[in-house]
Structure 1
Amino acid sequence: MTVWRRALAAITFLTGSVWLASSFKLISVRPAIFSACWIAYLMLWGIGMILDWRSRKNHPQKEPTPSQSAVGVIVATGAVAIGTTASNATSASGYAVPAMILIATILLAIVAFRFASKNQGQIGEARFDTMSDGSQPPQPAITPRSG
């Protein structure tokens, strides 16, 4: 990633953060700044998407690893849970539950990443032993009752 792309990503993040914080009334900004942040965010995000798209045309995308998939699912689920609970908050104490969900999401993402990284060879598509040598599969220890 070049210096320009990092700068673009940082400015996009900052403008989006200001717009989002002011949307949820966490900070107070003038309406002109609010509109300018929204427009700048959309423009910078669009430019970033175009640059990413052009750079990925030359380099095929790799499949995500199990650890990336696990973290993605946990973060997306946590984001939805935080958004749902935070939208009902009317005071500062109302943000206690979303804060706890945020902490739990971060901890679960770290644990899932570590687990999936350690067990990467065992996670994925199902692998069945077809017993091509002709042996019988093991019988279950518990047999169902009849009658």
Structure 2
Amino acid sequence: MRTNLVLGATVALLLGAALPAPASAAAGVHWGPVQSAGGHGGYAKADVWISDFSAETFQVYGKLYDRDPHRDHCATVRARFHYAGGGTGWSRAKSTCSPSGSFRLSSDGEIKRVDVRVCVYDTARRTTLKCHHDAITPEIIAGWPQ
């Protein structure tokens, strides 16, 4: 596999063609960390990337970190999509009880805003704790340096 990649890169350079960027680097904007409230020894944290707001299906993805030492506490992330045509909808929650895990949340159509919510999940009581959410809009992203 590595030999094919090296040969492909060499041929592309010889022909003057540009190599394509990895899909994750080309398609997303790094929003940054979203962290639940702390206390009682731990918290949940997500390193969040988002797709382009003009995409037909919007995606929120990244790494989720469980930073709570309690055995029954896990990290969970969820997104609330505000659709361009009106209405809202929640994604399914993605959770990890490991130190870290990947997540990908998708909308059902074009959106105008997304709220990313990160919480500690208490598995014994089946409830979320210490939640924090960030509201992300195209206007906020447009003001960022490229």
Q: What is the TM-score when the length of structure 1 is the normalising length?
A: 0.23
Instruction: Name whichever structure is richer in helix by fraction.
Output: 1
Q: What is the TM-score when the length of structure 2 is the normalising length?
A: 0.23
The structure having more radius of gyration, on CA atoms, is: 1
Instruction: Name whichever structure is richer in strand by fraction.
Output: 2
